[in-house]
Copies of this chain bind each other. A is one copy, B any other.
Amino acid sequence: MKPMTIGRLSKAAGVKVTTIRYYESIGLMGEPDRSESGQRLYGNDATQRLSFIRHARDLGFPMDAVRSLIQLQTEPNHDCSAVDSIARQQLADVRKRLNQLEALEAELKRMIASCEGGKVDNCRVMAALNDHNECLNDQHERIHAM
């Protein structure tokens, strides 16, 4: 259980050194002890927290949500429903993105299927890109994040 340097922590948790320092800088990670020469020294709790963050990020939780979850972790007696609702929110977001992506998939498939080769000039894919009319039912919302 000796303290480890940032490089070891990085490997242990699968998070890049620079990213760990970044997490520290935005207050997600808390300042670690330092060696005499100023190198960061971490205990096991750091590995845990870092893995927690990474896992949450892998699941697509936005930074704010991760921050909240970490905060909640420090209040073990608090009711679990807050955690639940963050997770449900995330699930809802994921489902929304899924729907959007499915719509995209359908349209792309249609576009590609309609192409019969030939010149760019009368390419159906190009035509489809030009005419927004015959498309996606007013899905005006841009798709971003993940």
Contacts and interface: CB of A to CB of B under 8 A. Distances in A.
Report whether over half of chain A's contact residues are helix, strand or loop; otherwise say mixed: helix
Contacts of A144: 146
Contact of A73 (B57, B87, B97, B126): B126
A119 interface: yes
A102 to B, nearest CB: 7
24 contacts: A52-B129, A52-B130, A55-B135, A57-B142, A59-B104, A60-B143, A72-B120, A79-B118, A80-B115, A80-B118, A80-B120, A80-B123, A80-B125, A81-B117, A84-B115, A84-B125, A87-B108, A87-B125, A90-B108, A91-B105, A91-B109, A94-B104, A98-B102, A145-B146
